[in-house]
Amino acid sequence: MGIPFGARRSLRPGIFGKALDISPFLKWAGATTGPYTLAPGVAHYTVTTPSGAAVTQADLSSHRYHHHVAPGLLGARKFAAYSSGALAEDASGQMVVVKSTTDLAAGFGSAQVAVPPQSTFDLTNTTQPDGSRFSYPRAFVTYAANLYIVSAIDGRSGASFPTGLALVANLCNADGSLGPLFRVSQDAFTPLSGFADIPYDAVLGPPLFALANLYGTWGGSVKFNTKDSSWLGWLFYGGMNLTELATYDNGTFMERLWRSTETDGSKLWVWSQRSYDGGKSWFAPQKSSIPSCGAPVGVAKLPSGKIALVGNPQDGVTNRDPLYLSIHDGTTGAQTALYAIRQGITQTPTYAGAGKIGGAAYAARPVTDGTNLYVAYSLQKESVGMTAIPLAGL
């Protein structure tokens, strides 16, 4: 079998005749289940939690499903983007919402809709119904000194798996407001009847698409679909379905980490790829020593040169608990510290909903301002939190 899309083998056998190392760089040495020692100096903040009011589309505080969380930074302002729906995961009309603040202790400001419903907002407890469309943030990206939130729109039609329909973006302003929605993917996009078109930006589209495709996590056509999206969402390799990617640049190479939906040796593991040409081509995936529970990881290089990895280990007593922070040497990939960010969180949501499970999970690529590391995540796929971790203790 040839190397599949997204895992193309590099054409260069080595640099100056030296064979390239294609093994997983980040190495796990700690226990594969929690609990772990709490990270030093952590401070937890609430981004959003359901108000308990009757759910309506317009009242964003009433929504009882929040997930797919991405953090962003613009100067002193911290952003958090997340998917928002009535009750169930990936319900029709699931939207992308953004909150921000310059003072975490004072709380996050009002919720703003980045991507409005792309199909009827479903108030029933139904996941991915036929004919529905649902959105989630893919990544915050910086281009030409501006911050953008790039989101993904997927859809379900008939018995097929979800299909990637569009990548779209909003400018994030210094006061926390959002610019108009525009499309960054060139794939043909037809809105459903009664829903507004999203115009393509020929200037910003190519660079934002490239960044979101490389560094984004969610969105894109699912395994075995008849229509592939031009952005990467799933990869089928060696009998494994890999999804929800996380990428970082370590200087001489890039590493891309995937979660697998299939077990290997009765356990779930993170899979790894390397690229030596800036992400243009990738060596075939390999199973790493990083444990997984079926939730994605997030990864970032710190100012010190160390690598910060966040995620959930293999399930122990409860699902997706704890949420960990693993620190790795930037030269060797060795794990130098392993902490809990959140742990002992109940996996039972306050409000029932299809697909709502787990403790603190789904933390995308963390961000840093040089003083703190900021990790954002969902809790029971219901509330959204952000934790600040001082870099000095890492």
Give pLDDT tens digits for 64-74.
999 999 999 99
For residue 197, tell me if it sits in a domain: yes
User: In which band, very low, low, confident or very high, does the pLDDT at 6 lie, cut at 50, 70 and 90?
Assistant: very low
Collapsed DSSP state (helix, strand, coil) of residue 255: strand
Between residues 238 and 215, the one the model is more confident about: 215
Q: Tokens for 102, please give them.
A: 């310059």
- Cα torsion angle, 31, 37, 39, 44, sign: positive
106: left (phi over 0), alpha (psi -120 to 50) or beta: alpha
CATH number at residue 154: 2.120.10.10
For residue 193, tell me if it sits in a domain: yes
The total number of structural domains that make up the chain: 1
CB 135 within 8 A of CB 83: yes
Give pLDDT tens digits for 206-227.
999 999 999 999 999 876 666 6
Give pLDDT tens digits for 280-316.
999 999 999 999 999 999 999 999 999 999 999 998 7
Give pLDDT tens digits for 260-275.
988 887 899 999 999 9
User: In which band, very low, low, confident or very high, does the pLDDT at 8 lie, cut at 50, 70 and 90?
Assistant: very low
Q: What is the pLDDT of residue 18?
A: 65
Q: What is the pLDDT of residue 239?
A: 81
Q: What is the pLDDT of residue 159?
A: 67
For residue 42, tell me if it sits in a domain: yes
- C-alpha 379/C-alpha 324 separation (Å) is 14
User: In which band, very low, low, confident or very high, does the pLDDT at 240 lie, cut at 50, 70 and 90?
Assistant: confident
Q: What is the mean pLDDT of the chain?
A: 93
For residue 345, tell me if it sits in a domain: yes
For residue 384, tell me if it sits in a domain: yes
Range of the domain at 302: 18-393
CB 161 within 8 A of CB 221: yes
Question: What is the H or E stretch that residue 162 is in?
Answer: none
Q: What is the pLDDT of residue 339?
A: 98
Q: What is the pLDDT of residue 4?
A: 31
Q: What percent of the chain has pLDDT over 70?
A: 94
For residue 11, tell me if it sits in a domain: no
For residue 262, tell me if it sits in a domain: yes
pLDDT (mean) for 24-48:
97
pLDDT (mean) for 88-101:
98
Provide the CB-side half-sphere exposure for 392 (13 A, CA): 2
For residue 290, tell me if it sits in a domain: yes
Q: Is the pLDDT of residue 17 over 60?
A: no
